RNA sequence: CGGGACGUGGCGCAGUCUGGUAGCGCACUCGGCUGGGGGCCGAGUGGUCGCCGGUUCAAAUCCGGCCGUCCCGACCA
């Protein structure tokens, strides 16, 4: 036993170190020469591609089309919506030289694309017949961050941003909520991450929005992660960028807009929610590889085991499963077991001489470590039900954790104690003033993560004034 | 951007205090034996010691500046 093998730090021992090690050991991402800019490696990108496909299907199903808009935004465009520039100003990166010429007007690398897209929309939208305009783009954006971590906060990140235009305020609000629901479904059904949905407080609202809605997840260390947001932009951008149309009464009126985004940050969330001391754990519906076959051979029967494993591989692939076979001859089975667990592959399929003799295979699930012997005949079916069990179990465990770490605070003392010692979500009434919100933030570092749709009346813990339910947590 | 720690082959580290021309484990390459929870033996490849400058006969080591990383705070998907 050589102990010098690079071991993953225990999650409970040093969560931050665990996270960084996992990202690199599982080959999800790697550091580059510029701060905050990471390479997403093939395995990490495969996860992103699965998320993309899942979301994209949902966008298409709700009537959206994909398009692409420019990377560079003239300063003057960005400045048109006052709140918006102010919000993003500290994180902008600028292009000031083109070729060898100094530019007359500097160009911002998009931190988000509202301003450039609205400029196009002001031309594209002329009549109520042009509405609704339902467009999404998949792209990279850049925000000059001071403290960065792979996936969770990088200067450059990948995301999608939907930008829609509507004739009425009601329609825009419906769209905003519809897309919030699309995100929630993706989290619940595919990522197995339970999220709370609700409204942001004015202080946490997107710069330039009338209302921001959010999906908030709870990470394994008790901190919240804003996982996706959907904004009702009202007419703020329409007025700033002159997006008007002739309605059915022949009146020229300003349009209503929405925007909504979901980023590679969620991969960080996935790691933090499901990862354990053995490494990553990917829910089957998301996993690039649902099952990996590890052949167990001895010198004399290597050829036989190999051909059986290949046959099994073909069978499982033919049944529509995403299966990989690990025929590497350099590593021992034990080494492979650890490696695939680190990568979070939901199921391992072992096949060796004993199994061939008994016409069976061994299935080992990543979420519980349970092992079972399954006859070869029914293997694809059994694997399929096992994968769906795992999906369900991962969602159930994450939900139980979330619920066990959602606490009601009856007094401010209790509130502070929970945040300091247990973290998690804290449910408490808020009087709606920025003053109490700010005070809580200064005292406890907890912020209002969201205002749920269903809010109860109660006395604010700080001011004693009447308020309504808010959900607090320390956030990433 | 403040406080602290750290930058030495791909990864993890020793060497720095007390200057003398770079080492260990893993990984990687080749050969052989192995293989049901990170196997073993043998032979190899790979480093201008983060960057720039200074002190010195001589710098990974001492001094200055810069860059980067990590942890803790202030701002953010």
A160 pairs with which residues across the strands? Answer: A138, A262
Distance A269 CA to B42 C1' (A): 46
Distance of CA A212 to the CA centre of its chain: 17
Instruction: Measuring from the CA of residue A229 to each C1' atom, give the nucleotide at the shortest distance.
Output: B77
Distance A171 CA to B42 C1' (A): 75
* Residue A7 to residue A36: CA distance in whole angstroms: 25
> Does domain A406-473 sit in CATH 3.40.50.720?
no
Pick the CATH number of A4-274 from 3.30.930.10, 3.20.20.140, 3.40.50.2000, 3.40.50.280: 3.30.930.10
Spell out which residues of A between 233 and 272 contact strand B, using CB within 7 Å.
Answer: 261, 263-265
Contact between residue A475 and residue A265 where contact means Cβ atoms under 8 Å apart = no
Spell out which residues of A between 102 and 141 contact strand B, using CB within 7 Å.
Answer: none
Label residues A127-162 b or e (16+ Cβ within 10 Å = b): ebeebbbbbbbebebbbbeeebbbbbbbbbbbbbbb
Among candidate residues A172, A166, A178, the one with its CA nearest the CA of residue A130: A166
| pLDDT for the residue A1 | 26
| pLDDT for the residue A6 | 60
Distance A286 CA to B35 C1' (A): 32
Among candidate residues A280, A293, A257, the one with its CA nearest the CA of residue A132: A257
Per-residue pLDDT of chain A (476 residues; tens, 9 = 90+): 233 346 788 888 888 889 999 999 999 998 877 888 888 999 999 999 999 999 999 999 999 999 999 999 999 999 998 888 888 888 898 888 888 888 999 999 999 999 999 999 999 999 999 999 999 999 999 998 888 899 999 999 999 999 999 999 999 999 999 999 999 999 999 999 999 999 999 999 999 999 999 999 999 889 999 999 999 999 999 999 999 999 999 999 999 999 999 999 999 999 999 999 999 999 999 999 999 999 999 888 899 999 999 999 999 999 999 999 999 988 999 999 999 999 999 999 999 999 999 999 999 999 999 999 999 999 999 999 999 999 999 999 999 999 999 999 999 999 999 998 889 999 999 999 999 998 999 888 899 999 999 999 999 999 999 999 999 999 98
Contact between the CB of A91 and strand B at under 7 Å:
yes
Give Cβ neighbours of residue A76 (< 8 Å, ≥ 6 apart).
A105
Among candidate residues A143, A152, A144, A146, the one with its CA nearest the CA of residue A19: A152
Tell me, letter by letter, the H, E, C secondary structure of A116-184.
HHHHHHHHHCCEHHHCCEEEEEEEEEECCCCCCECCCECCEEEEEEEEEEECCHHHHHHHHHHHHHHHH
* Residue A464 to residue A476: CA distance in whole angstroms: 29
Spell out which residues of A between 373 and 432 contact strand B, using CB within 7 Å.
Answer: none
| pLDDT for the residue A2 | 31
Instruction: Measuring from the CA of residue A33 to each C1' atom, give the nucleotide at the shortest distance.
Output: B68
Among candidate residues A397, A392, A372, A367, the one with its CA nearest the CA of residue A382: A372
* Residue A190 to residue A52: CA distance in whole angstroms: 11
Distance A256 CA to B64 C1' (A): 59
Distance A218 CA to B30 C1' (A): 50
* Residue A214 to residue A217: CA distance in whole angstroms: 10
Residue A1 in tokens: 């036993």
Contact between the CB of A445 and strand B at under 7 Å:
yes
Backbone angles phi, psi at A14, to 5 degrees: -155, 85
Ordered by start, the domain boundaries in chain A are 4-274, 291-386, 406-473
Bond into A276 cis (ω within 30): no
Contact between the CB of A13 and strand B at under 7 Å:
no
| pLDDT for the residue A234 | 97
ipTM of the complex: 0.90
Please name the fold of domain A291-386.
Rossmann fold (3.40.50)
| pLDDT for the residue A4 | 35
DSSP state of A68: -
* Residue A421 to residue A433: CA distance in whole angstroms: 26
Q: Which positions of chain B lie under 7 Å from any protein Cβ?
A: 1, 11-12, 25-29, 33-40, 67-77
Distance A296 CA to B44 C1' (A): 30
């Amino acid at each position: 036993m050589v102990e010098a093998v690079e071991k993953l730090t225990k999650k409970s021992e040093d969560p931050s170190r665990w996270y960084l090690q996992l990202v690199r050991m599982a080959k999800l991402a790697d550091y580059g020469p510029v701060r905050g800019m990471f390479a997403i490696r093939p395995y990490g990108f495969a996860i992103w591609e699965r998320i993309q496909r899942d979301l994209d299907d949902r966008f298409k199903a709700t009537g959206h089309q994909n398009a692409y808009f420019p990377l560079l935004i003239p300063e003057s465009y960005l400045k048109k919506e006052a709140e918006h520039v102010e919000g993003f100003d500290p994180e902008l990166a600028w292009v000031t030289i083109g070729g060898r010429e100094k530019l007359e007007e500097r160009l911002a690398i998009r931190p988000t694309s509202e301003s450039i897209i609205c400029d196009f929309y002001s031309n594209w939208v002329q009549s109520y017949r042009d509405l609704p305009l339902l467009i999404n783009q998949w792209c990279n954006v850049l925000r000059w961050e001071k403290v960065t971590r792979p996936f969770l906060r990088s200067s450059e990140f990948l995301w999608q941003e939907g930008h829609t235009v509507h004739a009425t305020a009601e329609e825009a609000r419906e769209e905003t909520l519809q897309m919030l629901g699309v995100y929630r479904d993706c989290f619940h059904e595919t990522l197995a991450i339970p999220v709370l949905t609700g409204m942001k407080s004015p202080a946490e609202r997107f710069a330039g929005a009338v209302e921001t809605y959010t999906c908030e997840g709870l990470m394994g260390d008790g901190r919240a992660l804003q996982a996706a947001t959907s904004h009702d932009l009202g007419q703020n951008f329409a007025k700033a960028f002159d997006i008007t149309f002739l309605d059915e009464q022949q009146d020229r009126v300003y349009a209503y807009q929405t925007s909504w985004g979901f980023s590679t940050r969620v991969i960080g969330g996935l790691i933090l929610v499901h990862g354990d001391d053995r490494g990553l754990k990917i829910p089957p519906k998301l996993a690039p590889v649902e099952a990996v076959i590890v052949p167990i051979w001895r010198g004399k029967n290597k050829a036989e085991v190999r051909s059986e494993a290949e046959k099994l591989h073909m069978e499982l692939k033919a049944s529509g499963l995403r299966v990989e076979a690990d025929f590497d001859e350099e590593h021992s089975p034990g080494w492979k077991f650890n490696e695939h667990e680190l990568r979070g592959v939901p199921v391992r399929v072992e096949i060796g001489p004993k199994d061939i003799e008994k016409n069976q295979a061994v299935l080992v699930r990543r979420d519980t470590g349970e092992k079972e012997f399954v006859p070869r005949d029914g293997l694809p079916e059994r694997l399929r039900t096992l994968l769906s069990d795992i999906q369900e179990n991962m969602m159930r465990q994450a939900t139980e954790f979330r619920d066990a770490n959602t606490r009601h605070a009856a007094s401010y003392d209790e509130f502070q104690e929970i945040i300091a010692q247990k973290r998690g979500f804290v449910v408490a009434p808020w009087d709606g003033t920025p003053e109490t919100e700010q005070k809580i933030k200064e005292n406890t570092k907890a912020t209002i993560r969201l205002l749920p749709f269903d809010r109860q009346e109660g006395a604010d813990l700080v001011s004693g004034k009447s308020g309504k339910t808010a959900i607090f947590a320390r956030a990433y």
